[in-house]
């Protein structure tokens, strides 16, 4: 049940026939794991917090650096040197005290990931490297947790939604590796992609709209073009090829 304060806070989105009070209650009951509190994690966490997700766990091992501030909008100048999850949690709790925000300052590894995910319904991939993205993809499949991928480079962004056992996974699309590197980026690019990830999460929880499944969305900010590449589940996929497809 929503409280009177919640009804007032979410009034404009409860007005949406696609959401209504029932949808808002679904958002309140949901728990979202956000991997990364940086360029993608900031907008994703802000909009999921504002929308009234019940419980959010933010995981990031990093500390705020001055060079993060052009894009990681949850961190401000006076946060330089602080833990990113601590800095982010402080802002998110002020934005919406109704949401339970949990900060975990840890590196995501194969060894700790299952435990970190325990009790969470959805995973937002807001990482900055492919190695951890693959770990998250595998864990999402193994634990049957929907996975919302996003990535950026410069003026370009990508997003894709993965429903285990039903749709193509990240490893069906990306088979290679790229070295970890310092990548160019302007803040507006992860802002768009992080918001798309948050939108997908909200749609999935409420059960509305069409998801970005079996599609890799490519956002070209320089030409303001959105392209959807069609992708298929790979029967030989290293991560999901052995899994039975349902639905």
Q: Are the beta carbons of 212 and 160 closer than 8 angstroms?
A: yes
Q: Is 36 in the site for other proteins (CB under 8 A)?
A: yes
Footprint of other proteins on residues 133-162 (CB under 8 A)?
133, 150-158
23 or 43: CB nearest other proteins: 43
Q: Is 2 in the site for other proteins (CB under 8 A)?
A: no
List C-alpha distances in Å: 152 to 13, 66, 156, 228: 29, 20, 6, 15
Query: Among 128, 137, 138, 140, which residue interacts with other proteins (rule: CB under 8 A)?
Result: 128
9 or 133: CB nearest other proteins: 133
Number of residues that bind other proteins (CB under 8 A): 41
- Count of CB atoms situated within 10 Å of the CB of 8: 10
Query: Among 183, 188, 209, 242, which residue interacts with other proteins (rule: CB under 8 A)?
Result: 183
Footprint of other proteins on residues 210-229 (CB under 8 A)?
218, 220, 222-223, 227-229
14 or 64: CB nearest other proteins: 64
Q: Are the beta carbons of 233 and 168 closer than 8 angstroms?
A: yes
Q: Measured between alpha carbons, how far is 41 from 25 in angstroms, rounded to an integer?
A: 24
15 or 177: CB nearest other proteins: 177
Instruction: Give the nearest distance from C-beta 197 to other proteins in angstroms.
Output: 10
Q: Measured between alpha carbons, how far is 43 from 45 in angstroms, rounded to an integer?
A: 5
Instruction: Give the nearest distance from C-beta 85 to other proteins in angstroms.
Output: 15
**Three-class secondary structure of residue 11 per DSSP:** helix
The backbone region for 95, taken as left when phi is positive above 0, alpha when psi lies in -120 to 50, beta otherwise, is: alpha
Query: Among 175, 209, 241, 242, which residue interacts with other proteins (rule: CB under 8 A)?
Result: 175
Q: Is 84 in the site for other proteins (CB under 8 A)?
A: no
DSSP string, 50-119: HHT-SEEEEE---B--GGGTTT-TT--GGGTTSBHHHHHHHHHHHH-TTSEEEEE-----TTTHHHHHTT
28 or 133: CB nearest other proteins: 133
The DSSP call for residue 184 is -
Query: Binding residues for other proteins, per CB under 8 A?
Result: 36, 38-41, 126-130, 133, 150-158, 173-178, 183, 185, 190, 218, 220, 222-223, 227-232, 234, 236
């Amino acid at each position: 049940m929503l409280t009177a304060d919640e009804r007032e806070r979410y009034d404009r989105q409860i007005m949406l026939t696609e959401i209504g009070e029932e949808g808002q209650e679904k958002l309140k009951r949901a728990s979202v794991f956000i991997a990364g509190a940086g360029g993608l994690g900031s907008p994703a966490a802000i909009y999921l917090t504002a929308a009234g997700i019940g419980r959010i766990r933010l995981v990031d091992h990093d500390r705020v650096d001055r060079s993060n501030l052009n894009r990681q909008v949850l961190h401000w100048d006076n946060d330089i040197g602080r833990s990113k999850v601590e800095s982010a949690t402080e802002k998110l709790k002020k934005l919406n005290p109704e949401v339970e925000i949990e900060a975990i300052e840890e590196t995501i590894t194969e060894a700790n990931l299952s435990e970190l995910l325990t009790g969470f319904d959805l995973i937002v991939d807001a990482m900055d490297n492919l190695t951890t993205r693959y770990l998250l993809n595998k864990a999402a499949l193994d634990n049957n947790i929907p996975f919302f991928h996003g990535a950026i480079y410069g003026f370009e962004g990508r997003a894709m939604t993965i429903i285990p056992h039903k749709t193509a996974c990240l490893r069906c699309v990306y088979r290679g590796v790229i070295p970890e590197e310092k990548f160019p980026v302007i803040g507006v690019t992860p802002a768009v992609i992080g918001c798309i990830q948050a939108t997908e999460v909200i749609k999935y929880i409420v059960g509305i709209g069409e998801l970005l499944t079996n599609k890799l969305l490519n956002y070209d900010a320089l030409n303001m073009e959105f392209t959807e590449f069609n992708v298929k589940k790979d029967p030989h996929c290293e991560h999901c090829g052995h899994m039975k497809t349902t639905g």
